[in-house]
Amino acid sequence: MILGIGCDILEIARLEKLVKNNYTHRVFTEEERRQSEGKLSRLAGDFSVKEAVSKCFGTGVRSFSLLDIEVLRDSLGKPYVKLYGGAEKIFLEMGGKALHVSISNTGDLVMAYALMEGEGF
């Protein structure tokens, strides 16, 4: 059963200031920063997923930090998320069993989609 959906679109250039001011550690985990390989589009995609997941919860970024949502890639490059702290708590309280995410981008924009699955009635 679908418990929540969320999507987000972001101009990639909006992340430049965050990177230039060296604030990435406030938004991205060490592993996210490593996997980005310094690519602004990858960080923008991760940020967009974090926003989409927060919308999936129906809360926005409340009661948790963006660091509580970690966006990683499997060996084929498919994105997936790991939840920690407050984000994990909300997910479990809602009866979440799985989170599915997808990212698309152009040269200027990135878009992410999140779907939270839970047990049916």
Binding-site members are 8, 51
d(CA 8, CA 23): 21
* 77-116 pLDDT, tens digit each: 999 999 999 999 999 999 999 999 999 999 999 999 999 9
pLDDT at position 120 is 63
Torsion of CA 112, 41, 25, 59, to 10 degrees: -20
Provide the 3-class DSSP secondary structure of residue 83: strand
Which residues belong to the annotated binding site for Mg(2+)? 8, 51
pLDDT band with cut points at 50, 70 and 90 for residue 38: confident
* CATH number of domain containing 48: 3.90.470.20
**Structural domain that includes position 58:** 2-118
- If one counts the domains in the chain, the total is 1
Mean of the per-residue pLDDT values for the chain?
92
Confidence band of 121 (pLDDT split at 50, 70, 90): low
Question: Nearest Cα to 28, choosing from 11, 44, 52, 7?
Answer: 44
Rounded Cα distance between 66 and 86, Å, is 10
The per-residue pLDDT for 119 is 82
